[in-house]
Chain A
Amino acid sequence: AAGVIQSPRHLIKEKRETATLKCYPIPRHDTVYWYQQGPGQDPQFLISFYEKMQSDKGSIPDRFSAQQFSDYHSELNMSSLELGDSALYFCASRSAGAGGELFFGEGSRLTVL
């Protein structure tokens, strides 16, 4: 079965650079979530989209932005990167009519040097 696809899997950037992460949800899933997991931490909710509209917002820095496109894929844009942005970024998707579990991608590991 198709899963959530995230790219790139690994990314190395310098401070103050920009990074873009992509997420392709499971087909027919209309809700996408972004989470950030720092080393030894639990995943923290950043932002979510339902039917291409932002549905909820968590602890997402102002330097970050995200959107969901007409094909339901989503992109997380991160600018002016800081060392503290180094983390594993997860995308998850679910169908609004389904039972509630989120299906996570394998994550994109961002390292800021």
Chain B
Amino acid sequence: AQKVTQAQTEISVVEKEDVTLDCVYETRDTTYYLFWYKQPPSGELVFLIRRNSFDEQNEISGRYSWNFQKSTSSFNFTITASQVVDSAVYFCALSDFKAAGNKLTFGGGTRVLVKP
């Protein structure tokens, strides 16, 4: 069974501070996908980033960066120079690698509040 744990339930920062969200996962699959989704107050789920389990290269995309460490089953996500519009709930998610299927297992979410 797959499991995703986001230990931080809520993080509050002041604008322009960096925010790092922790994510730890469990899976028996040797290949899998990891994702981060954002859910703003309006409710929709917005795809942010995806990482394949066989690619541990960490990347930066604009103000977003992520640190994938397979050895510790962690997939942390950082927002650099946070803005008020970053206030949302952020979900880490895991899926298998099947051609059909690929359902997402979500973590409990971390609520980020960015204050001006």
Let me know if A106 is at the binding interface, CB within 8 A: yes
CB pair B104–A45 under 8 Å, yes or no, is: yes
Asked if A72 CB lies within 8 Å of chain B CBs, one says: no
Contacts of A103 in B (CB 8 A): 47
| Structural contact, B102 and A31, CB atoms closer than 8 A | yes
Let me know if A102 and B47 touch, CB within 8 A: yes
B106 CB contact (under 8 Å) in A42, A107, A109: A42
Give A101 to B108 CA distance when docked, in angstroms: 19
On chain B, the residues within 8 Å of A97 by CB distance are: 99
Interface size for A (C-beta < 8 A) is 30
- Determine the distance from Cα of A51 to Cα of B100 in the docked complex, in whole angstroms: 9
Which label, helix, strand, loop or mixed, suits the secondary structure of the B interface?
loop
State whether the Cβ of B91 lies closer than 8 Å to any Cβ in chain A: yes
**Which residues 48-105 in A have Cβ within 8 Å of B in the complex?**
48, 50-51, 55-56, 58, 88, 90, 92, 94, 96-97, 99-105
- The residue from A31, A41, A58, A104 contacting B45, defined by CB atoms under 8 A apart: A104
A-B pairs, top 7 by smallest CB distance, nearest first, are: A50-B100, A104-B45, A42-B106, A100-B33, A106-B44, A45-B103, A55-B100
